[in-house]
Chain A
Amino acid sequence: MARDKNTEDFVTPIRRLLVGVLLLALFGLFLVWRIDSPRVERFRAAAIDKVVPSFDWAMAPINGIVGLVTDFQSYQQLSAQNQDLRRELQQMKAWKEAALQLEQENAKLLDLNNVSLDPQLTYVTGVVIADSGSPFRQSVLVNVGARDGIIDGWPTMDGIGLVGRIAGVGQETSRVMLLTDTSSRIPVTIQPSGQKAILAGDNTLNPPLEFLEDTALVRPGDRVVSSGDGGVFPADLLVGQVALGTDQRLRVRLSADYQRLEFLRVLRSQPHETINDPGGLLTPEAEFYGPAALPSSALPPVVPSDG
């Protein structure tokens, strides 16, 4: 249709109304999210569940190109890398020997002491399909979800160390909030001093340790493992090593390889059995304690002694 000034004047008010409705809907959604976050977050999880896996075909070529570039870079350093690996392998062999001996010794000692250990954690492995796409959030999307029995809050590891925890489960995907995210707080223990602290993500690669009781007992290089406090995580999952940051704060160098998060293990962490009752008093139920409480037929006949 030919449009001149006149027709536009008729169109504009309707358009303005529609834009107003649109804005109202958008800001309304925001307000609803602020008031009733879980419901909208569930909607978000469902939307991502539908949309992101279907981006797969579009991501494949980009992934391929990036893979090609990184492969090319690593080919360039191939010989140097090879030498390094060989040297490392030699050291590792020595360590492996030591580890095997220690394992045997450990098993023997445990057996001698009759220690009962936690049952092994089982896990589901998922592939990282997308990252958060925003510099303000540190999270990834993995391709396992409620369908695979994933539950909010389960810890996630790569082969070596803790990576994060499940925050948001869709039908086929779930979001893993990384330890580096600003809203991630994990209770940890620092070995060997046994100090407890909170690992608080702050959007840097090495998250700082907070609420340390005695910093004098903690040295750079100490191992940091999850403490299992508060029932957030199972205990003794490797997190990383203590390091002193350039800002003189104690930080953790994470063991998980954040450069290459490709496969993630979601640990099926069962909640701790809680002990609710304070324990019964050790008193007898009947008034009498001793033979009188038993039925008389169960007792041998009393033979009076004649002194």
Chain B
Amino acid sequence: MASPADTQVWIKRGAFLFIAFVIMVVQLVPQSMEPRVIDIARWHFRLVSPDICLAVTLVWVARRPKYAPVWMIAAIFLMGDLIFQRPPGLWAGLVVVLTEQLRKRSREFRSLPFLAEWGSIALGVAAISIANRLILAILAVPVAPFGMILLQMILTIAVYPLVVLIMHYLFGITRVTPGETGSRGQRV
């Protein structure tokens, strides 16, 4: 498949890898080491950032599954597991499961309204977050407070439309329009 006519695919794949790399490096940059906490009324919130890397991956898989091959996703998230001190392999495996589900359904997404796409993404993210938490609890691995994980999950879902917009206008990750063909007229 790697004939010169498919350079486009490889450029997009490279872009995907590059985005994931940049997100990881930005997260690694040593900034303030203070855990950030905000107080709203008498509630105590620990600030967490959304899992941007996951959101980006989901956008690519839901819209252009060809540009985000499964081995690339597995490699990126396994690296993330190793670097960010997560239990190695579990989160990567769950993300692969979710993306495979979305990949299967990506043809349906082309004709569905955006809200439906967002809804199924939200369900998927919630499912793997809870599955992750459950498996860790069953195997008695020490876990972070549940509130933080919930907050991160919600933020990741909330940030999805924004990531869709950015990917649409900056990297051309649009929905496949009806009748669109590949470089040599094949189906996409």
Contact = CB atoms under 8 A, between A and B. Distances in A.
Interface stretch (B7-15, B83-91, B121-129): B83-91
A263 B71 CA distance: 38
A34 B87 contact: yes
Nearest to A133: B27
Contact of A180 (B35, B78, B93): B35
Interface stretch (B55-63, B141-149, B164-172): B141-149
B81 to A, nearest CB: 9
A44 interface: yes
Given A1-B1, A51-B79, A204-B35, A132 B87 contact: no
B85 A132 contact: yes
A19 B93 CA distance: 10
B33 to A, nearest CB: 5
Contacts of A136: 48, 144, 148
Interface residues of A, number: 53
A258 B31 CA distance: 10
Contacts of A34: 87, 139, 141
Interface string B3-36: 0000000000000000001101111111111110
A61 to B, nearest CB: 10
B144 A203 contact: yes
Contacts of A293: none
Interface string B80-118: 001111111110110011001000000000000000000
Interface of A: 1-4, 19, 22-23, 25-30, 33-34, 40, 44, 47-48, 51-52, 55, 58-59, 62-63, 66, 128-140, 178, 180, 182-183, 203-205, 246, 258-262
Interface of B: 1, 21-22, 24-35, 37, 39, 46-49, 70-71, 74, 78-79, 82-90, 92-93, 96-97, 100, 139, 141-142, 144-145, 148, 152, 184-187
The 10 closest A-B CB pairs, nearest first, are: A29-B89, A26-B93, A30-B89, A136-B144, A133-B27, A135-B48, A130-B28, A30-B90, A134-B84, A26-B89
